[in-house]
Structure 1
Amino acid sequence: MDRFEAMRVFVRVVERRSFTLAANDLGLPRSTVTDAVKQLEARLGVRLLERTTRQVSPTLDGEAHHRRCVSIVADLEDAEGAFGAARPKGLLRVEVQGTLARHFLLPGLPTFFEKYPDIEISMSEGERWIDLIREGVDCVLRFGILPDSDMIARRVATLERLTCAAPAYLDRFGTPASWDALDGHRMIGLRSLTTGVVRPLDFMIGERLENVTLPTTISVTGTESYLATARLGLGLVQVPRFHAADDLARGTLVQLLPDCPPRPMPVSLLYPRNRQLSPRVRVFLDWVAQEVASKNART
């Protein structure tokens, strides 16, 4: 293994805190990864990693060498990608909230793979906040207000949201006339996986934002369950318009209080700040931004 490949291996081991996970990411035998790091340590004459039965972590020398390796690997990948003949290639790990994937990304993937046949995508769906570097993820597509982090966030769209409920719910509790006349009504709780807190309903009154918390019969963490329980007549929900469009057309959900809608929510791409983008990540980010913006404009 040449020095550049050894640097790539070392960087991945540090990021993943595991020889096994790094080997899986790189498509190499674990023994190859272990030998590459041992040879790197022997060549430098320092111990770069502390190994325990649970985790691998860098020493002080390892942290310093990791920073240099990250910069060198990124510069070389960027230099190679600058030439037109160098097509983006390799495995790309992304995480997307499920409804965003199905509506915005999956329909356009055949075209993406026609243009970039050497890229392989490993896509996971999730709602929780993750450590991209530790979990080996290249980028994340997220809906909603983002917590503070050291990630770079690129906003790609702002989605209209609406308040709705099932006809069965309205038959039982009545149709609310205004946002401040919701006494006696119930909401379905959408609970944050990160904090465990149930998000209140929110309403834009001109430029003013009002939050309302109603009693809940059920709270959920997944957006699909959130909409499914609304169809059952269990309470009011607030969702992006694209997510409820089919239900509104079928009449299984009814839009409420259109004069004081929920505040719009951003859709953002997140990726690590301390890593120069590889060509495959760069083309994927640009493609996602175009897909989300174009489909949101048609919604």
Structure 2
Amino acid sequence: MDRLGTLDIFVQAAEGGSFVAAARRLGISSSAVGKAVARLEQEMGVRLFHRSTRSMTLTEEGSYFLDTCRRILSELDVAQSELSRLRAAPRGLLRVSLPLVGMLLMPTISAFMRAYPEITMDLDFTDRLVDVIEEGFDAVIRTGEVRDTRLMNRKLGSFRHRIVASPGYIQAWGRPKVPLDLLDHRCLHHRYPSTGKLEPWPLAVEDGNSRLVLPVAVTASTLEPIIHLAEQGFGIACLPPFVIGPQLDDGRLVTLLDDHIVQTGTFRVLWPTGRFLSPKIRAFVDFMADNLVVDGAAAAPLKAVSAAKP
């Protein structure tokens, strides 16, 4: 900024025709103007003014440099004005990546779009592990652990998985009373597309430490096939509650082993770490935290934290 200030002093001196005129415009002393121009000439290695006791005119190099300085200062004014405008009203393109189950977040996202009509949404639905920075996303919404240290995150809400089956399946196969009973049942598993691993079922077994190795009847990389197969009586599934709300409400699926579920899942919004958070991203993060309803409760606003994990 000191260098930009020196350029402004030079422009004022050139346009005013003297150091005295520049000093009057800038509210500084004429000797300060003269020293600034002298330093600039020394740094540039050229003489910018022809000076005499009666007049001061630009050299050929000075004329060229004046045009360049005017462009630089003009672009700075434009940039400052644009930044002020953006901070006053969130606007522009907002690229957001959501999991495939993110369609269930659309009522909240629709409300955000109504609240901020000058923000254009570009929504990408995928369960793959996107590279937020390399792929140019402004924000992503995900469940599970976050390990990218280049990202900040904010918790949107927590939820408890549900173990579910259709009434027809229960009639045919019986109702499991404790987690160990699942060893005699058909289990429908979600497979993480990013790693190929099966999503663990958050169940407490009798010793409190070991994890059940459950039978595998079906695996799928998205939840929709699992929901459909569970509805049709093909097995028992472990699913987040927000993807099976209608099925639970109308009785197509019923919950099992509710007292044995010990872990919770978390929805988080993540965005690239930066010293300054753009108005459109800040508006999106705050709105989702204030308005998203997860597992029957609105997400409480929390302080953003680094996404780094041990």
User: Which TM-score bucket, shorter chain as reference?
Assistant: 0.5 to 0.7
| Separation (CA, whole Å) in 1 of partners of 2:261 and 2:162 | 6
Partner SS for 1:182: helix
Report the CA distance shift for 1:181/1:77 in structure 2 as closer, same or farther (over 3 A).
farther
- Does 1:96 pair with 2:102? no
Q: State which drifts further: 287-296 or 243-252.
A: 287-296
- Identity score, percent: 27
Aligned-pair distance for 1:262? 4.8
| Separation (CA, whole Å) in 2 of partners of 1:137 and 1:114 | 21
Aligned-pair distance for 1:178? 0.4
1:212-260 CA-partner distances (Å, limit 9, x unpaired)? 2322221001122221221122222111222222112222111101111
- Does 1:80 pair with 2:84? yes
8 Å CA contact 1:201–1:238 kept in 2: the answer is yes
Aligned to 1:116: 116
| Separation (CA, whole Å) in 1 of partners of 2:139 and 2:168 | 41
Q: State which drifts further: 140-149 or 224-233.
A: 140-149
Letter in 2 for 1:240: P
| Separation (CA, whole Å) in 2 of partners of 1:191 and 1:216 | 11
Aligned-pair distance for 1:107? 1.6
8 Å CA contact 1:141–1:270 kept in 2: the answer is yes
Aligned to 1:168: 168
Letter in 2 for 1:88: P
8 Å CA contact 1:77–1:279 kept in 2: the answer is no
- Does 1:277 pair with 2:273? no
8 Å CA contact 1:93–1:122 kept in 2: the answer is yes
Letter in 2 for 1:276: F
Report the CA distance shift for 1:172/1:262 in structure 2 as closer, same or farther (over 3 A).
farther
Partner SS for 1:281: helix
| Separation (CA, whole Å) in 2 of partners of 1:102 and 1:142 | 13
1:182-203 CA-partner distances (Å, limit 9, x unpaired)? 2311211210111101123221
Unaligned runs of 5+ in 1: 1-71
Figure out how many residues of one structure are paired with residues of the other and give that number. Answer: 222
Report the CA distance shift for 1:273/1:176 in structure 2 as closer, same or farther (over 3 A).
same
Aligned to 1:157: 157
8 Å CA contact 1:202–1:209 kept in 2: the answer is no
Is the radius of gyration larger for structure 1 or structure 2?
2
Partner SS for 1:159: strand
Letter in 1 for 2:183: D
Aligned to 1:256: 256
| Separation (CA, whole Å) in 1 of partners of 2:206 and 2:90 | 47
Over the residues paired in the alignment, what is the CA RMSD in angstroms? 2.9
Letter in 2 for 1:125: F
| Separation (CA, whole Å) in 2 of partners of 1:190 and 1:144 | 14
Aligned to 1:215: 215
8 Å CA contact 1:161–1:264 kept in 2: the answer is yes
1:265-284 CA-partner distances (Å, limit 9, x unpaired)? 01101111246321111101
- Does 1:231 pair with 2:264? no
Report the CA distance shift for 1:78/1:218 in structure 2 as closer, same or farther (over 3 A).
farther
Partner SS for 1:163: strand
Q: State which drifts further: 269-278 or 201-210.
A: 201-210
Letter in 2 for 1:102: M
Unaligned runs of 5+ in 2: 1-75, 300-310
| Separation (CA, whole Å) in 2 of partners of 1:155 and 1:133 | 20
| Separation (CA, whole Å) in 2 of partners of 1:203 and 1:78 | 53
Report the CA distance shift for 1:211/1:77 in structure 2 as closer, same or farther (over 3 A).
farther
1:160-187 CA-partner distances (Å, limit 9, x unpaired)? 2211112232233211110122231121
Aligned to 2:59: none
8 Å CA contact 1:156–1:289 kept in 2: the answer is yes
